[in-house]
Structure 1
Amino acid sequence: MRLTPENTSRFVQAGPVKIHYHEAGTGPVLLCIHGGAPGAFGWSNFGRNLEALSQNFRTLIVDLPGYGKSDKPAIDGVRTGAYAQCFKDMLESLGIDKAHILGMATGGAVAIKMALEFPGVVDRLVLINCPGGLSLFQQKSAPATHSYYQGEGPSMERMRASMERLVFDKRCITEEMVRERYEASIAPEFMAQAPEGKGGKPGENLEVLWPELHRIEAKTLIIWGRDNPTLNYDNSLYMLNRIKNSRVHIHSQCGLLVPIEKPEEFNLEVTGFLKLQ
């Protein structure tokens, strides 16, 4: 049966927060945490990878609190720890003792925080183009995704432009992807609570994690797009130097959205790393 957003949709109470997620597959648990951006949600980042990943793992694709169909609680100040606690609570509610944690962008910072604060829960880490490193060279200017709500406000055209800035090959951004993100970006609850909905900058209210990377014990795969305009690929080299048991794969001709731009390579490298003895 073809996996769809509808037939994989689930909800679970994670402490005080109800989390929406998609689930498919059996085997070791793989928790996938999406990035923060206007209208972001789990399926938009990883839904197109679910069929391949679920062949080897019980794959859970979550919506961050404040995003998608998850509850939208008010979170003041730094959000990384609150998100990490929420997903620890989620795994506990599902009776899961240990899981592989995969995170992209904001989701990667949350995965790092989980590995630091709850090492017993985290099996292996996959970090994709995420805050938490430190630039060794001059960092490229980040695209102004925070301007999406300013001026004339949200539109399909502005959402397409925002998404196309994040990729190397603009042809991978389909009309369906633009529409689902646009519709999510104008949901009143999202605009009221998510940082990007308030006009915040990407990565705003995330904890500074690079001084703590040496404490990570989990085996870690760091994936980067060489042409990522938000965080230069030298961040991945810093992480490689600081995380004791880590490896890096830098994709050429690829931006931020590696799971979307390089889906077959991404699925194979994640599966291979997580199954490696």
Structure 2
Amino acid sequence: MALTAEHTSRFVRAGDVKVHYHEAGSGPALVCIHGGAPGAFGWGNFGRNMDALSAHFRTIIVDLPGYGKSDKPPIEGGQYGFYAKIFIDMLDALGIDRAHIMGMATGGGAAIKMAIDYADRVDKLVLVSSVGGVMQFAPQPTEGMKTIRGYYGGDGPSPTKMRRYLETIMYDASLITEDLVMERYAASIDPAFMSQAPEGRPGSVAAQEPVWKDLDRIKAPTYVLWGRDNRVQTYENALFMLSRIPDVQLHIYGQTGLWVPFERAAAFNRQVIDFLTED
């Protein structure tokens, strides 16, 4: 029987913040941190991967603070460090000494800060379409960044805007169902999300640390996964990470956008499992 969001749903107090997460499986802990965008939440980003990953790991898919069912506190200091500290507190509360950390997009920034600031708590690191790279040739802001920033502008959010956003982050538009659009749209107009999440208010931008400057400080073996057709964070970012992270591997998928775990679920699951289980 496939795992569901409802039956894997949990809460834990991480310091002063209540974090919502999904948990299944046993073995080494794997924490999956989703990306930040209108209507983003943990199960939405990684739910399609839970069955495969939880067959090998104690898989924990979190809602970032400010997203999903997690508390929505104001961000203090740098955004990525703020998240990283909360997730370390979460590991403490769950009795986990060390874990594999997988971060996508904004979640990658939190994962990078965990690997740098709390190196003894991170076993292996997986970065998917992550912040932390540098683009030298792509025009900035990218098409995807403009779409995200414009979502709450003008006439405000709508299912049409959400579909346009999903078309921007995925190469294969046939994967975009009406249910997927409406699920993400409903999450994007949640009043608590709109009042606190960094992507929930027009013009609201949290301070984001330049983690690209510290990639060479990552000690954990790292796997970088990217879509060649990512229109938010181009694969130039992945190449930069390849050049800076000491112990790193890189895989770039053709005909794939930002949302690699969704578009390439079967191949993605195999590659992540192989990387995390190899000696």
In structure 2, what is the Cα distance between the partners aligned to 1:159 and 1:69?
20
In structure 2, the residue matched to 1:228 is 230
- 1:197-218 deviation line (CA, Å, top 9, x unaligned): 01247x8532111111111100
In structure 1, the residue matched to 2:171 is 168
In structure 1, the residue matched to 2:218 is 216
- 1:131-184 deviation line (CA, Å, top 9, x unaligned): 111124334623221111111111111111111111111111222221111111
Q: Is the 8 A contact 2:65 2:83 kept in 1?
A: yes
Deviation (angstroms), 1:232: 1.4
TM-score (norm 2): 0.96
Distance 1:78 1:186, change over 3 A: same
In structure 2, the residue matched to 1:240 is 242
Is residue 180 of structure 2 the alignment partner of residue 177 of structure 1?
yes
Greater helix proportion: 2
In structure 2, what is the Cα distance between the partners aligned to 1:129 and 1:44?
16
Query: Unaligned regions of 5+ residues in structure 2, if any?
Result: none
In structure 1, the residue matched to 2:143 is 142
In structure 2, the residue matched to 1:258 is 260
- 1:60-117 deviation line (CA, Å, top 9, x unaligned): 0000000000000011452111100000000000000000000000001110000000
Comparing 105-114 and 149-158, the one that deviates more: 149-158
In structure 2, the residue matched to 1:151 is 154
SS of alignment partner, residue 237 of structure 2: helix
In structure 2, the residue matched to 1:269 is 271
Aligned mate of 1:205, from 207, 212, 223: 207
Comparing 161-170 and 135-144, the one that deviates more: 135-144
- 1:18-75 deviation line (CA, Å, top 9, x unaligned): 0000001111100000000001000000001100110101100000000000000011
SS of alignment partner, residue 6 of structure 1: helix
Q: Is the 8 A contact 2:33 2:62 kept in 1?
A: yes
Q: Is the 8 A contact 1:24 1:58 kept in 2?
A: yes
Comparing 133-142 and 23-32, the one that deviates more: 133-142
One-letter identity of the residue aligned with 2:182: R
One-letter identity of the residue aligned with 1:67: Y
Distance 1:272 1:200, change over 3 A: farther
In structure 2, what is the Cα distance between the partners aligned to 1:200 and 1:81?
21
In structure 2, what is the Cα distance between the partners aligned to 1:98 and 1:275?
15
Q: Give the CA RMSD over aligned residues.
A: 1.3
In structure 2, what is the Cα distance between the partners aligned to 1:200 and 1:165?
21
Q: Is the 8 A contact 1:136 1:238 kept in 2?
A: no
Aligned residue pair count: 276
TM-score (norm 1): 0.96
One-letter identity of the residue aligned with 1:180: E
Distance 1:168 1:11, change over 3 A: same
In structure 2, the residue matched to 1:121 is 121
One-letter identity of the residue aligned with 2:22: H
Query: Unaligned regions of 5+ residues in structure 1, if any?
Result: none
One-letter identity of the residue aligned with 1:261: E
